[in-house]
Amino acid sequence: MERTSLTRYAWLSAAAAVATMGLKAAAYLLTGSVGLLSDAMESLVNLAGALMALAMLTVAARPADSDHAYGHTKAEYFSSVLEGMLILVAAVSIGIAAVQRLLAPRPLEQIGLGLGVSVLASGVNLAVALVLMRAGKRHESISLEANARHLLTDVWTSAGVLVGVGAVAVTGWQRLDPIVALAVAVNIVRTGVGIMQRSVSGLMDVALPESEQRAIQAVLDRHGEAGVQFHALRTRQSGARRFMSVHVLVPGAWTVQRGHQLLEQLEGEIRSAVPNLTVMTHLEPLEDPCSWDDLSLDRDAPPPVAGQAGG
């Protein structure tokens, strides 16, 4: 599937957010439950996240150009960061409303009808979240995965709120509702922080997962024949794209053709082992001391050649 097609999932998420926000707002108006109000507020965050995901998925699908030679896939991280921030803002708002209701409890009304409406909204979120999660994993879209995890959190949050409202109906203790709302806020904070940590890691060019690094190393080990060595292996991930570079050291007596054939074989096998990977290799002679000066990311500039100094 072309990545431009992923925007349809963002539209689906936005539609679900609008539907559930309306349902939960109705449930709040029917019951007066601050817990249900917190659910409705989180649906507003879902809508904002879905619209941001839509925008960033559109940008990420653009092909590489002269200003973005490595593509635009990293744009997806921006929607994830924003969604995490919005989640935290919603958590603070929910916490404030819950504390106010905890200090001044108010009886709930039409609990049965309100719970029924909220259950319906949770069913919508669950169905959409499962669709987004499958699409996010299949197409390696952090925007869709983050959106799906947020919706799933919303489902569990709604379940907690339903328990709280039901407990109020059974026990008559009005403070159970805001207590559950505070627990909801804590859960939302945990989810928001987790999403932001993963997104920031992507923006900071975190290395590929250990499993993928092991797959790359296994290919290199298979080609570690006599006289062939590897160093300066570096990896990073940018959205759905992966990048790696490695220096391949071979005997200086090898022909360019022989070295080129080795690199082609290496790159092909590595791409087969790790999908969506751009492989960059650098061929160097084993015997040249300069081949060992580039183990770190930065290397010193070579000394000027005699007779070439500027005058």
Distance separating alpha carbons of residues 83 and 202, to the nearest angstrom: 15
Distances (CA, A) of 277 to 59, 69, 267, 270: 20, 15, 10, 8
Among candidate residues 271, 194, 277, 197, the one with its CA nearest the CA of residue 237: 277
**Per-residue pLDDT tens over the stretch 258-283:** 999 999 999 999 999 998 899 999 99
Structural domains present in the chain:
3-203 (1.20.1510.10), 210-292 (3.30.70.1350)
**Per-residue pLDDT tens over the stretch 120-170:** 888 888 999 999 989 888 888 888 888 888 787 777 766 766 766 677 767
Distance separating alpha carbons of residues 309 and 152, to the nearest angstrom: 65
**Per-residue pLDDT tens over the stretch 199-214:** 888 788 888 989 999 9
Task: State residue 305's pLDDT score.
Answer: 55
Among candidate residues 160, 47, 149, 28, the one with its CA nearest the CA of residue 97: 28
Q: 0.85 exceeded by the pTM? A: no
Task: State residue 42's pLDDT score.
Answer: 67
* φ, ψ of residue 299 in degrees (nearest 5): -130, 150
pLDDT band with cut points at 50, 70 and 90 for residue 301: low
CB 244 within 8 A of CB 277: yes
What residues form DSSP beta bridges with 241? Answer: 238
Among candidate residues 187, 160, 179, the one with its CA nearest the CA of residue 102: 179
